[in-house]
Chain A
Amino acid sequence: MAGYTALLEDVRRRVSESADPTARRLASKFGYLKYMVVRYYEMLGSWDRVEELLEAFEKPLPRAIRVNTLRFGNPREVIERLERLGYRFSKIPWEHHSYVVTKAGGVSLGATHEFLLGGYYLYRGVASLIPPLALSPEPSDVVLDAAAAPGGKTTHIAQLMGNRGVVVAADISRERFRALRSNLERMGVENVVALRVDSRKIPEIFGEYFSKSLLDSPCTGEGIIQVDPTRKTKTLFEDLARAHRRQVELLTAVVRSTAPGGLVAYTTCSIAPEENEFTVAEVLESVGGVRVVKPAVEVELEPGIVDYFGIRLPEQLSLCGRTYPHTHGFEGFFVCVLEKIGP
């Protein structure tokens, strides 16, 4: 929509015109493009918080494991097996089958007998656990996972559904799809129909079909700079605007595939408002019949951004949730739950 293209252009102009010396100093100190640091000030409201964020991006990400309860009713049994390999864990209070690794064992998490053999667990970043919980799928649901590969969230959804109901896992990448198939098979998932397709085509195939839909959207990865430090310099503002356009197309298709009364969870591993609040705001306006609801998760989230470089976004976007490395201790992440209230 031309309105949001113009708004993003407005943001780009303001960012490029900024000559703030603190932004220049911090960008130089931590090795970032200056436009990113200018935006962080706008998002966080103080240079102290910006510096905390940049320092947190320098630290390694904690890893978490989610025990595969499709195979093991008692997660403790798996934890004890891994503790015998030297691992130590602390329980994640808001995800009942997941643990943060506090001390690594002698064998990497991807090479233990327990990982390899029975799909005892899946290891991943902590924030990745949030979107399936925000969707709260139940055994009676028909769920769309619109960018499913390699399947971390798909297996989590299947686990939350007790392997019942239906999950349609869609993705376009052939390579990633093979990883999806491997993961589902290894973890014992059997309530998934996998479809290799451009998710923008899903409304043509299904119509308003799904009771719950997840779009873990392709993004620039601005929340996981710990994993990919090249992200400090490789993405220009124009790339953000391009990502935004694609995200709007995908989210529009996912909303259109969801039945009235259904829920859509939109998430990215980016802290960029251009990829998050601006995307949701544009879809709220262009698709209509949807509203933002608070994610039903126990983890405390920072509110969505509604005031950015003087641009006012719809107030309901404050119900969306954000995580930051310096406040949560894990990846920067965005999650927003939309309820479809009518056609």
Chain B
Amino acid sequence: MRCVVGGGEVFEHVARLHGSRAAEALREYVPLYCAEPLEVYLMRAELMHAVERILKSGRFPYFAGFYAGRLRSDKPRFIPSHVLLDRLYKHIGHPVRAVKISDAGIRVVLYGRDVLAESVVECFEPVEAGEVVSITGPDGYVYAVGLSKISSCGEIGRLREKDVVAKTIFDLGWYLRSGTVPREARYKV
């Protein structure tokens, strides 16, 4: 699995999706791009030395630092990981591009099901149809990542209870259901 260190593409996507303040949260990290499709890891500078030793030996690290998401050639161009999203929200103090859903909704989403209008407790702009939306629980943690079916939070009020607000493409239940299958199969997009 080939890996390349450096390059700012991931930061550009974070700034585009979550604002320049969110991108500031990642200032101390260096990106590591691995595999095809392109997975992005963010590592602190202190890991660089070990990574360089591995690269110098003609090998590649399997990963380093934390998993930040996946770059794609189609929309959505970047699917951030729940780890990255939690970190960004902590830094800026509130979620963006997110729906907060009820405990009952979370339990369903953790089986890979989509987010229905009846579960949504709060919605955080901007949301954009076909773009990534975070699915958070009442405690504020990101439990899943989805593709938005709505173009603004205001649309939710006009939906029926069973209408889909976000198609779930990754949820934390994956770790239990299939946490040891190749990551290539983890996203339903």
Contacts and interface: CB of A to CB of B under 8 A. Distances in A.
Interface residues of B, number: 35
A237 B179 CA distance: 36
The number of chain A residues touching the other chain, given as a range, is: 20 to 34
A80 B46 CA distance: 36
Contacts of A177: 62
Contacts of A110: 176
A166 B172 contact: no
Q: Give the residue among A111, A117, A191 with the most B Cβ atoms within 10 A.
A: A117
B182 interface: yes
Contacts of B46: 164-166, 191
A239 to B, nearest CB: 27
A209 B59 CA distance: 17
A197 interface: yes
18 contacts: A113-B107, A116-B110, A116-B172, A116-B173, A117-B137, A168-B50, A178-B182, A179-B180, A186-B179, A188-B83, A190-B44, A190-B65, A191-B65, A192-B65, A193-B51, A193-B63, A195-B61, A197-B59
A185 B142 CA distance: 13
Contacts of B44: 190-191
A206 B61 contact: no
B159 interface: no
B54 interface: yes
Given A165-B46, A191-B44, A195-B61, A111 B66 contact: no
Interface string B165-179: 000000011011001
B141 A193 contact: no
A81 to B, nearest CB: 11
Nearest to B32: A193
Contacts of A197: 59
Interface string A99-116: 000000000001101001
B62 A195 contact: yes
A242 interface: no
Contact of B50 (A113, A116, A166, A188): A166
B75 interface: no
Nearest to B174: A182
Interface in A160-195: 164-166, 168, 175, 177-179, 181-182, 185-186, 188-195
A205 B53 contact: yes
Given A178-B181, A206-B53, 5 more contacts: A117-B143, A168-B50, A178-B179, A197-B59, A209-B50
A193 B47 contact: yes
